[in-house]
Amino acid sequence: MIDLMASAALADTNPTEQEQQDALQAHFQPHISADEIEQVYHLKRAQPLLQVFTALFHGGFEGVLVRLLVLRELANETTSSAFSRADINTRLAYLLPESLETVLNRLRTNGLLAWDAQQAVYRVTPMARNVLAAIDSLLALAAPEDDAEMGFLLSQVAGAQAVGGVTTEQLQHLLGRLVDLTDEFRDAIASGSEFRLRESQAKWHQACDWVEKGSEILRAITSDENADSATHRAAQAIGRAQSQLLNMQGMFSRALNQIERQRVHLGQSGLSTTDIKRWLLAHEDLASLAEDAIDQPVKPLFITPAEMIDVAETELMTERPNALVNGLPAGQDAPTTINDSPAMQRELDDWLARLSDFAQLNNFPAVAEGSPREVKVHEALLPASFALASYRASMLPLLGDEAEASMQGTTADLARLPIRFAPQDEMVQLPDLEIAAISLAALTLELDKKESGKPDE
């Protein structure tokens, strides 16, 4: 009775073949027929198998989990191939009877369970076992430690090669995964991130392990005389992709060495920015690190009506120019100012006059006949205060400076004087109240320069 009701419901819900063809054609361009595409032909041939997957995985995750649970419990029973309803109820007693009935009806309707009416027992169909085997192998080989995610694809190729039925599609899937990994590793190297590089390098090592395991399989495929040309080309492309993958070891090493050279260390502590980032990544809640780090919480300040009134009153009382007054204001005489020369300029003029007197009259520091042609610097600088003597001494290196002599101004006049400044490394002690010692140096009159300058004048 249940089978008849299920068949009737299935007949009502399942569309006819023409309706399915029309619904499929609605996804394609009007001038393209779906049957003309090769992949559509292969997928339509596998419609019974695809409908089995639809029956298992259609709906929410909870429903999918219960269907797989029931089917795996029945398929794992090896003592008997037939199950009565009482056996199923006993084995799956932890499920509600209504839920169990719904799942059994769905599995039976879609060919995953076969109902033997004569013996009144259920049997797991061969298609159901094949589907479960594929799912179990995927769950086992797609383990979390397989970061490269090549185990399942390589196992499919290895299993197909063992039974002599490897297909080009299986090799293309493996080739696509190798290309994806190569692009991923190149992006990690180009990023310059140390953490991303080390994570990708660990995945690269796992991928290389799978490459070593798959090399023997590829050699068997390429040496197989019965394999077609498409299979040979796919195997050769996989070999080239594996070579590119293995050659990336040098790229990883160079990128990591470059990062090592650019790593910043914090003083003499031995800590680097990498250590700090690794320590921060170890904390799930970074905001908790700021607890008890601030003595006073942040207190936001808001404008109150009192402040708003003060601002409005200030704006109201501010004097503004009268917009009605036109024309320019009356003229006024500019104030009279006296341009006093700065004290530093006066001192420079006095110092230039003293040196000029020595150069022209040969009577510096004393105006007398027979005065020396060379005088000690401390005798020329003093008497003077410390500040004045320091200022005069700072001007002495300009004597004889050709670059400064080519300019205009008082300092240029100072540089053109026929006097040579000859400093020494020794110090001379002075009986002065402000200057205790000064470098030993001399100002020498250059007669040749002085005489050569007379015709020019």
- Count CA within 13 A, CB hemisphere, residue 259: 20
Instruction: Judge contact between 414 and 355, C-beta under 8 A.
Output: yes
pLDDT at 269: 67
pLDDT at 288: 77
Supply the mean pLDDT for the chain.
Answer: 77
pLDDT at 1: 34
Whole-Å CA distances, 456 to 116, 448, 449, 450, 451: 134, 13, 11, 10, 10
Supply angle C-alpha 187, 191, 193, rounded to 5.
125
Cα–Cα distance between 212 and 427 in angstroms, integer? 82
Share of the chain above pLDDT 90, in %: 0
Give the pLDDT band of residue 45 (cuts 50, 70, 90): confident
Give the pLDDT band of residue 295 (cuts 50, 70, 90): low
pLDDT at 327: 67
Fold designation for 2-137: Arc Repressor Mutant, subunit A (1.10.10)
Residue 131 confidence (pLDDT) above 50? yes
Average pLDDT, integer, range 272-296: 75
Residue 267 confidence (pLDDT) above 80? no
pLDDT at 119: 85
pLDDT at 8: 40
Residue 145 confidence (pLDDT) above 70? no
Average pLDDT, integer, range 366-380: 66
Domain residue ranges of the chain, discontinuous segments joined by +: 2-137, 145-260, 343-456
pLDDT at 457: 36
Amino acid at 224: D
pLDDT tens-digit readout, 101-125: 888 888 888 888 888 888 888 888 8
Cα–Cα distance between 398 and 343 in angstroms, integer? 20
Give the pLDDT band of residue 382 (cuts 50, 70, 90): confident
Instruction: Judge contact between 283 and 220, C-beta under 8 A.
Output: no
Say which range, 10-24, 204-218, 249-263, has the weakest mean pLDDT: 10-24
Give the pLDDT band of residue 142 (cuts 50, 70, 90): low
pLDDT tens-digit readout, 430-442: 888 888 888 888 8
Closest CA to 263 of 196, 194, 200, 199: 194
Give the pLDDT band of residue 449 (cuts 50, 70, 90): low
Instruction: Judge contact between 417 and 358, C-beta under 8 A.
Output: no
Residue 60 confidence (pLDDT) above 70? yes
